[in-house]
Structure 1
Amino acid sequence: MDKLTTDIAVIGGGVIGVATALRLRSDGRDVVVIEPNKPGSGASYGNAGTIADYAIIPVGTPAVLKNLASLLLNADSPLSIRKAALPTLFPWLMRFAYESLPHRYRDNTSRIADLLSDASWEWLELAAEIGASDLLSAKGCLYLYQTPEAFKAAASDFELRRNYGVAQQLLTPDEVQSLEPRLPQVRGGGLFFPKAINFTDPGQVMSVMEAAAKRAGVEFVRDSVTTISRERDGVRMMASAHSIHARAVVIAAGAHSRGLALQLGERVPLDTERGYHLEFDMETPPVERPVCPTHHGFYLCPMRGRLRVAGTVELGGIGAPSNPRRLEVLLANARKVFPTLGEPSRSWMGFRPSMPDSVPVIRPSRGGRDVVFAFGHGHIGLTLAPRTARMVSSILAA
């Protein structure tokens, strides 16, 4: 078994872990990233590729709470659950229901809005630093409302975002058509977020980020941490082929973080959303920016040489296989927008680390600042990677 000693170990090589390692290395710290797979090959690759500075509204809302049972038990809804996982998920669901109450929803929205306030600017800065600026597109993001009634029902969300300073523009159906001419006509209208930034290839961004980290001197260890414990002079991690000792550890293992936190005596209410996407290879995607038909809860994402159809929420843990029904629903809904879409070129399923309040866990562990938590980002992990890295840096510098 190889023995390694380092200043800081980052457990997890997704976008949060690699961005954090880059930041800590720029602080002059020696950093090792421990990741069993290719860095950035999970949810950091499979997402909608959007820096969603507008995504201040948590998954749990009073409206979702009102319809929670019907949503969860409908296999075709944007929010569903694998029934076999219900007993295990029950405590998380109870906490989710509580966090969806009006007073908790308002507080959670405020906390998320604070985290997202500089997200686009921080990504522009990071992209320039690592040489990925050409992989970013600043064409914004578009929400679609199928009917005037749906558009009117979303008025409280419009006002909430406005109160938090989110840049947004209400569009008539004709203005939607002008912005995205190949979309079918919508009767309700649209909501345009002009400051949203899009990745033309999330996987390529992660490859560039990994390469930049290696050039900066970050060491990557291909292994999976199984045990973690505190010692008098630091933290000991055991992996399948390595024993690693570090002065401090950042747990950024996404959906796999809960068990590591539990070994340190902390019960974090983290569970897993299973995300899916389909891709259609094409030279010119039919939209110029991410487009979300809100009544179906997914994104049409133009990427380099392909259209990615991504989104929806399935609660079901990390052990069960991919659910073909979720992919069928994505395909059927995508064809409701673009009926001539052929068969998908490929499909994907991955895991989002999800907290009941939709607020990521970015803080020192209760046992001390020798272990820092940086997980639970849900749908905004890509968006918050640079901000999370900065916060972790500040914690470890204190």
Structure 2
Amino acid sequence: MLRHVTTDIAIIGGGVIGLAIAERLTAEGREVVLIDPNPAGATVSQNAASYGNAGTIADYAVLPVGTPDVLRNLPSLLFDRNSPLAIRRAALPALMPWLLRFALQSLPAAAERNARNIARLMADACPDWLDLGARLGGGDILKKRGCLYVYETAKGFRAAGRDMDFRRSLGVSVDLIDPATLRQMEPALPEVEGGAAFFPKAVFLNDPGRMVGLLAAEVASRAERLQARAESLERQGDGVLVTGPGLRLKARHVVIAAGAHSRKLAAMAGDRVPLDTERGYHVEWDMAHPPVTRPTCPTTRGFYLCPMDGRLRVAGTVELGGLTAPPSPHRIAKLVEGAREIFPDLPAPDREWMGFRPSMPDSLPVIGPGRAGPDVIHAYGHGHLGLSMAPVTARIVADLLAGRDPSMDLAPYLPGRF
């Protein structure tokens, strides 16, 4: 049944970014309609990044995916099936424009600039999440235990020093710890020759799905939610018309927060955005007491060991392959194999998952108005950092829609930057 709706602000997308924006706007008394194709009660779709992430509020994750080291190794990384960064060969022709931009953004000057711009957004990620969690009644989900990068070899640990110095220059708190200290912190991990980098200020969500559920419930109490797929945007004299199957909505302002599905909507709003999709994976084992007490990344393996509530989640790796191809059994198998190399007694996993990360070649999200005017605000493309950046993005979008100064130069994040 076609519904004719009018509103002040329409938010397209009900993942963690769209929900955080809706929560912020409705707290300020704004009229909001949230549009999402998933049924009411489903906080996020099963293939959305909000559902299967590592749960880390990663204030330390200030480096872009594209760096000079990655660029030097790009051919082997992309075509090695066992690489933490891989590509589906069938998707290569469609991905070539994105990959060319990615290569340019991996050059030294661009990579350093991108890191500084990521760090500006990440500076308040942890305190903003602690505030949001408290408002939602989910403070018990947020754990202030930091995060570990583990280096299995002494050579890897020595090489990490320069990396960590650069992160410190961007405001990241990090301590380099020896194997004995690592053993004290996480006694179930196997002994290593190297050591670890400990990020003490990082927090994590031990049940991201429950936190997003609390966020969705809070938004549902304040805003209307339409189960529909927005397929078209059209600017009109008195607002923006949003249409799709069973949907016809007129809004003074539209926020595009549809994650990996945002590129076509952005084009309709007048902005050609080089957004593509990283396919992330996780596997989970149900257990009362996970063998680690904080998110832990064995750096050479490209995944996180995540102590969720009642389960161990092993999440990570990057696969470039678009939105339509089925999950790769090989990627799942490599996660299981890597986890068992660390914890040999793990049985068959209880579940597995693949979802879509909306990713830009420079690893910077798209936040702000487009070229055609401020009636459409973009808020997507956060890559690995969507969970971390959700409340920060919400604050920026709320400032823009209220006519306030966001206290940050948004030029590096605007949709027209390419």
Relative to structure 2, which stretch is displaced further, 67-76 or 148-157?
Answer: 148-157
Superposition pairs of residues 30-179 of structure 1, within 5 angstroms: 30-37=31-38, 38-41=42-45, 42-179=48-185
Match of 2:331 in 1: 326
Deviation at 1:220, TM superposition (A): 1.2
CA displacement 1:77-126 (0-9 Å, x = unmatched): 00000000000000000000000000000100010001101110000011
What is the TM-score normalised by the length of structure 1? 0.99
Q: CA RMSD in A?
A: 0.8
Relative to structure 2, which stretch is displaced further, 231-240 or 147-156?
Answer: 147-156
Distance in 1 between the 2:76 and 2:365 partners? 27
SS of the counterpart of 2:60?
A: coil
Match of 2:266 in 1: 261
Where structure 2 has 5 or more consecutive residues not aligned to the other structure, the ranges are 404-418
Match of 1:194 in 2: 200
Distance in 1 between the 2:19 and 2:264 partners? 21
Distance in 2 between the 1:300 and 1:380 partners? 17
Distance in 2 between the 1:20 and 1:98 partners? 32
Runs of 4+ in 1 over 6 A off after TM superposition: none
Where structure 1 has 5 or more consecutive residues not aligned to the other structure, the ranges are none
Distance in 2 between the 1:151 and 1:97 partners? 27
AA partner of residue 56 (structure 1): V
Distance in 1 between the 2:370 and 2:25 partners? 18
Q: How many pairs align?
A: 397
Contact 2:297 2:304 (C-alpha < 8 Å) held by counterparts: yes
Match of 1:233 in 2: 238
Distance in 2 between the 1:195 and 1:358 partners? 22
Distance in 2 between the 1:59 and 1:329 partners? 20
Q: Is residue 247 of structure 1 aligned with residue 236 of structure 2? A: no
Distance in 2 between the 1:233 and 1:364 partners? 17
SS of the counterpart of 1:356?
A: coil
Contact 2:77 2:85 (C-alpha < 8 Å) held by counterparts: yes
Distance in 1 between the 2:268 and 2:326 partners? 26
1:222 to 220, 224, 227: 227
AA partner of residue 24 (structure 2): R
SS of the counterpart of 2:231?
A: strand
1:384 to 376, 384, 389: 389
What is the TM-score normalised by the length of structure 2? 0.94
Match of 1:289 in 2: 294
Distance in 2 between the 1:186 and 1:236 partners? 58
Distance in 2 between the 1:229 and 1:72 partners? 38
SS of the counterpart of 2:353?
A: strand
Distance in 2 between the 1:16 and 1:118 partners? 16
Distance in 2 between the 1:321 and 1:45 partners? 17
Q: Is residue 274 of structure 1 aligned with residue 275 of structure 2? A: no
Distance in 2 between the 1:183 and 1:275 partners? 24
Identity %: 56
Match of 1:3 in 2: 4
Relative to structure 2, which stretch is displaced further, 34-43 or 109-118?
Answer: 34-43
CA displacement 1:257-311 (0-9 Å, x = unmatched): 0010111221101100000000000111000001000000100000111000000
AA partner of residue 323 (structure 2): I
Match of 1:395 in 2: 400
Deviation at 1:251, TM superposition (A): 0.2
AA partner of residue 139 (structure 1): R
Contact 2:43 2:209 (C-alpha < 8 Å) held by counterparts: no
CA displacement 1:201-241 (0-9 Å, x = unmatched): 111001111111122x1111111111111111000011211
